[in-house]
Amino acid sequence: MDLSNASALVTGGAGGFGSATARRLAQKGARVVIADVHADRGEALAKDIGNGSVFVKTDIMSEDSIAEAVAAAVALAPLRAAVVVHGGPPAPGATGPQRTVNREGKRLPLSQFAHTVNVYLNSAFAVTSIAAEAMAQNEPLASNQRGVVINTASIAGYEGQPGQAAYSAAKGGIIGMTLTVARDLAPLGIRAMAIAPGTFLTFAYSSRMTDEQAQAHWGPMVPNPRRMGDPDEYGILAAHIVENDFLNGTTIRLDGAQRF
């Protein structure tokens, strides 16, 4: 898909995966809407990548806020690509791993489980549906395509670790809905894909330890290359998915052959 004279939306656009993806899509010609809650990082990124890109403060837990970000993209140019890479706030009262029953014998409250699913799955569907609704109004390109939505799953959606029941359920939901959404949107010429990253050196790790400490701890768990992933490797794959019209309805693992 050609992104010249087009806009792209990246939710979580000021984060590690998001900023790398925003840069790659801008290089392909898109005017990128960086949708995030982190205004300082988002505004600086929009200024840095240029090409008419903008930051829009976005609460992914609010359909109205998501719709405003989509409208901002449509105002720039026809929305052709939406990449969903956001996280979200922790559940109120949550501390540490969310084990179904912890070592003290206390169960995970349903409210915390539901919150995680809302952050990582329900909000992703909201972005997908709102963006696709806007894409459906586009004039089709010569390839008869109107747009593409890329969601972010995780290898935890296939084999989660202790304490990841809610997160694995949410990411497994992304994997599960991808083919069905692609089939739903096929008559409109809109594709749906997902990427399932493994262990990447993003802000989630660098905020807790140095890059060197993170690589020393997590890097040896990746078979080859024996290191954590670079967020730009996610951005490269996302940009390729946008360009390659025959990629549709599947989830691509991006994990260096990592299996737990």
| Pairing status of strand 190-197 against strand 7-11 | unpaired
- The residues carrying an active-site annotation are 167
The secondary structure of the chain, three-state, reads: CCCCCCEEEEECCCCHHHHHHHHHHHHCCCEEEEEECCHHHHHHHHHHHCCCCEEEECCCCCHHHHHHHHHHHHHHCCEEEEEECCCCCCCCCCCCCCCCECCCCCECCHHHHHHHHHHHHHHHHHHHHHHHHHHCCCCCCCCCCCEEEEEECCHHHCCCCCCCHHHHHHHHHHHHHHHHHHHHHHHHCEEEEEEEECCECCHHHHCCCCHHHHHHHHHHHCCCCCCCECHHHHHHHHHHHHHCCCCCCCEEEECCCCCC
C-alpha span between 158 and 39 (Å, rounded): 33
